[in-house]
Chains A and B, each alone.
Chain A
Amino acid sequence: MSGAEGDVVQFDNVGLRYGSGKEVLSDVSFTLYPGSFYFLTGASGAGKTSLLKMLYLAQRPSRGMIRMFGTEIITMPRTRLPGFRRRLGVVFQDFRLVEHLSAFDNVALPLRVSGVPEADLRKPVADMLDWVGLTHRADARPATLSGGEQQRVAIARAVIGRPELLVADEPTGNVDPDMALKLLRLFESLNRLGTTVVVATHDVHLLKKVPDSMIMRLDKGRLSDPTGMLRYPPGRGSVGRRPT
């Protein structure tokens, strides 16, 4: 596969096995274009989380090639990876909130890691908590939040820095349909500002809510392209925005 410099991510024949087990992902090839919105679907155990882990730089593939923001990342020295991770926003399937930090401090964490001054992050974090409906829980520790509330904190943390690539693993698994829709709007608005979005989900109803989204299907570790849009994406070339 020949990748263009502007592509966000390019996977070429990527395979992954854990330890000495059999491959959980085989021959995965795809390209994520700037400003596009992707859904990743597939049965439980199909390998969605495994694929996303490689996407958010938590897992090295067993074989194949991965380019991100125009750079081959597999052979890259470890010391350069943090710079790439800061361009990503990640909603982990298991949230991964810091236990002893408040909801506010969890959301503020990526900004602080990136060195944003305290004065500049109060308002954006407060606004984001307001949007996910958690202003009244801003000082609560994750353990005292409901599953859905924790998920909203995790999402707020993922989008707060307006990442170039947002990777969300089952981001609506624990919330009611109204909240799911609202969170999807958040992703869409981010997408409209230029963020490439990848959302893994079981929820087929969600797929229809984002009209121009592209669908990647994983089936027993192999990627299929039911809409053909991965290969021939609409709006290829109109960087940042697909035509509607």
Chain B
Amino acid sequence: MKKPPATTPVTRRGLARFKGEKASELVPQARLSGPMPWVIAIMIALTVIAAGGGLALNNLAGAARAELAGGATVQIMEADPSERARQAAATVDVLVDIDGVASVRLVPEEELDALLEPWLGVGADNEAVPVPALIDVRMSGPVTEERLDRLKVVLADAAPAARIDAQASWLGPVFEAITSLQWLAIGLVVLLALTSAAAVWLAARSALGSNSETIEIVHLLGGTDSQIARIFQRSIAVDAAVGGAVGLALGLAAIMVMGDRFAALGSGMVAGGGLGWIDWVLIVAIPLVGVLLAMLTARITVLAALRRML
């Protein structure tokens, strides 16, 4: 009989780290073949879309508010065109001299016609349907009731047919609607984030459950708790990162498509609803948080399982 092979004593090497490619092979990687990355991908995509929508809505409301806060509109409600033109000119003359008025613009007739065209039809006769003259007033700082009253007093003499309104006041109901939409978006993002966190947590736990045998074997062969936790953390992080990347891509694609659709509406209001760089940073952070959460779950679960062993 042949002599048995020589063996090398390993015990003097101390508790070296077990890491790298060979260590990660201990855990079969599910990647896209398992359910975990897909569950994570879908939850991350939904969270990204809700967050993108919420942030866009927030910017839209903020931009519209800032723009409208300092605005007032003067309408000259006068049927006679020449008298209307006179009062409009007088209004502009009076307003430019008032403190706190940043700019005054008489909206040209063509622009008014264009605005009204959808309602009155092309080439509608101005004489037939009297249209008030519009004067757009921009004030420095928000338009308060007092400032508005002061303008009214001044205008009463110059243009008796003038009626002045703060732009924000017309849009009060719109703002209320937007505010409740914002709350809805915040609620959705919070719910989706919680569900995503739960999905990541459950996926990480189930991935570990199917590897509990391996955990025990490496433990019995002298693997330290942190060695074993690191192996699983890494493996789960890879799965979560794959899922997170796919989810982010899906979510971003949806945001882009929605953005294009809204931009195509050409409405001045939606132009304020774009996403700033800080919004993009927040959105990209969503999958990163997912990966961190998955790693944390893996670590906690593995260490808890190991602590039940001697």
Chain A positions near chain B (C-beta within 8 angstroms) = 56-60, 78-79, 81-88, 90, 92, 96-101, 105, 108-116, 118, 120, 124, 127-128, 130-131, 159-164, 182, 185-186, 189-190, 193
Contacts and interface: CB of A to CB of B under 8 A. Distances in A.
Interface string B213-235: 11011101111110100000000
Interface string B195-223: 00000000000000000011011101111
Given A59-B310, A113-B221, A161 B18 contact: no
Contacts of A96: 213, 216-217, 220
A115 B5 contact: no
B16 interface: yes
Contact of A131 (B5, B14, B216): B5
Contacts of B173: none
15 contacts: A57-B310, A58-B220, A58-B310, A82-B222, A86-B11, A86-B221, A97-B217, A99-B213, A109-B218, A110-B221, A115-B17, A116-B10, A124-B6, A124-B7, A182-B1
A189 B4 contact: yes
Contacts of B220: 56-58, 85, 90, 92, 96
B115 to A, nearest CB: 70
A76 B300 CA distance: 23
B13 A116 contact: yes
Given A182-B1, A189-B3, A161 B25 contact: no
B310 to A, nearest CB: 5
Given A98-B26, A182-B1, A81 B310 contact: yes
A161 B7 contact: yes
B15 A82 contact: yes
A57 B213 CA distance: 17
B278 interface: no
A219 B222 CA distance: 31
Given A96-B213, A112-B22, A127 B5 contact: yes
A75 to B, nearest CB: 13
B10 A111 contact: yes
B179 to A, nearest CB: 54
Q: In terms of DSSP, what is the predominant structure of the interface of chain B?
A: loop
B310 A98 contact: no
B28 interface: yes
Given A109-B218, A182-B1, A160 B17 contact: no
Contacts of B7: 124, 128, 159-162, 190, 193
A163 B224 CA distance: 18
B5 A162 contact: no
Given A116-B8, A161-B10, 14 more contacts: A58-B309, A78-B225, A83-B15, A96-B220, A97-B217, A110-B10, A113-B223, A116-B10, A118-B22, A127-B5, A161-B8, A182-B1, A189-B3, A189-B4
Contact of A186 (B4, B15, B307): B4
A112 B18 contact: yes
A124 B3 contact: no
Contacts of B310: 57-60, 78, 81
B229 to A, nearest CB: 13
Contacts of B216: 96
Given A98-B214, A128-B5, A190-B7, A115 B309 contact: no
A88 B220 CA distance: 10
Highest count of chain A CB atoms <10 Å: which of B6, B10, B23, B227: B10
Contacts of A112: 18, 22-23
Contacts of A81: 310
B9 interface: yes
A109 to B, nearest CB: 6
Nearest to A99: B213
B18 A115 contact: yes
Highest count of chain A CB atoms <10 Å: which of B13, B22, B216: B22
B5 A124 contact: yes
A105 B8 contact: no
Nearest to B226: A79
Nearest to A106: B217
A88 B11 CA distance: 9
B202 to A, nearest CB: 22
B25 to A, nearest CB: 7
B9 A162 contact: yes
